[in-house]
Amino acid sequence: MSIPKQFISCDWGTSNFRVRLIDTETLEIISEHKTEVGVKKLFTDFSNQKEINRNQFFGSYLLEQIKKLNIEAKGKKTIIASGMISSSIGMHELPYAEMPFGFQGKELISKHIDLNEEFEIYIISGTKTVADVMRGEEIQAIGLSSVLPQNQSGLLVLPGTHSKHITFNNGVFENFTTFMTGELFDIISKESILSNSVTHASWNSLLKTPFLEGVAKGVANQQMASFFSIRANSLFETKSNEENFYFLSGLLIGGEISSLKNFDGVIYLSASGVLNELYRLALNSFLPKEKLVCFEESHIEKALLIGQKAILKTYE
């Protein structure tokens, strides 16, 4: 197929949905539409009816949302979809592609479906190792490969709810490990006995000390013996609840990156906003500055689109 002048980017997660009309050459976002109808909710709705099959049910919702993009172009329109859309509760389940895979993503598994005479969709699989799986981050990694060294080795760190550490070498993503850092933080700070001892606060330089204190304990693998001190900090007023919030964050981030103390290569950090500041501080607490590269916000914002375009080009 020839590459279309525009494509529709679909990023369908467990709890959210986003479609964007994209200029293929410039990756300019022409229009965008979001909802909070992730695959989990839509799969529940699908399971509660018997009239139409899963592809049709999900496809109907997708096409209804695409109308909000107000597309004016004529002819067949191409959707590139990644994330949980290819999961067991998504539109069409695909098996995980095996690691390793190249920077262009040719090894990923895809499924082409004609939704109707006007729209076609390419659903992209996730990837797996013997002990781990991911869906969605592999497309971000492909998008970021344009600013990774092509003939060297290193580690790509993607912080988030389920942080990913992806090793690469000579243009190939070789392996990865998932860390449930963000999810554990959410559970501990909201659901555990510590919830009354932590209060969210906007990041500022005064919170650097408790955060790095937590990082040091996490890096030393002392987090299990340190969690309950958060309650003591509150009871004895040795730390404010806001300081406890960032101390807890430091414990978990420190635990995540503890194995990187002995990493011999360069680490490439792809994080936005406060996560960029926190992970940079945590990694710089023990890494030489030349061993850490932090991507610019513009690269991170475009990563998914660059990755989806790369997949689109494999069909030329």
The CATH number covering residue 49 comes to 3.30.420.300
249 is in which domain, residue-wise?
Answer: 179-295
Domain with residue 211: its CATH number is 3.30.420.310
Instruction: Give the pLDDT of residue 3.
Output: 85
Domain membership flag for residue 258: yes
Q: Do 226 and 117 fall into the same domain?
A: no
Residue 171 domain-assigned (yes or no):
no
Residues in CB range of 12: below 8 A, 6 or more apart: 18, 38, 39, 81, 82, 83, 84, 85, 90, 91
pLDDT mean values, one per 10 residues, the chain (316 residues):
90 96 97 97 96 96 96 92 96 97 96 95 97 96 96 97 97 98 97 97 96 98 97 96 98 97 95 96 95 94 96 86
Amino acid, res. 83 = G
Query: Is 81 found in the same domain as 28?
Result: yes
pLDDT for res 73? 83
User: Residue written as tokens 């998932």?
Assistant: 178
In a shared domain, residues 113 and 193: no
Backbone angles phi, psi at 215, to 5 degrees: -55, -45
Q: Looking at the structure, do residues 219 and 105 belong to the same domain, yes or no?
A: no
- Angle of CA points 32, 134, 131, to nearest 5°: 175
| Tokens encoding 178 | 């998932």
DSSP 8-state secondary structure symbol assigned to residue 259: G
Structure tokens at 65: 């949302």
Both 203 and 282 in a single domain? yes
For residue 163, being part of any structural domain is answered with: no
Q: What is the pLDDT at residue 72?
A: 87
Asked, for residue 145, whether it belongs to a domain, the answer is no
pLDDT of residue 315: 81
Among 109, 135, 161, which residue terminates a domain? 135
Residue 164, in any domain of the structure: no
Determine contact, residues 143/306, Cβ cutoff 8 Å: yes
Same domain, 125 and 10: yes
How many domains does the chain contain in total? Answer: 2
- pLDDT reported for residue 27: 96
**167 DSSP β-pair partners:** 155, 175
Residues 109 and 202 in one domain: no
Q: Are 118 and 185 in the same domain?
A: no
C-beta separation of 225 from 262 below 8 A: no
Query: Do 106 and 210 fall into the same domain?
Result: no
Residue 166 forms part of a structural domain = no
- Residues in CB range of 279: below 8 A, 6 or more apart: 157, 159, 253, 257, 269, 271
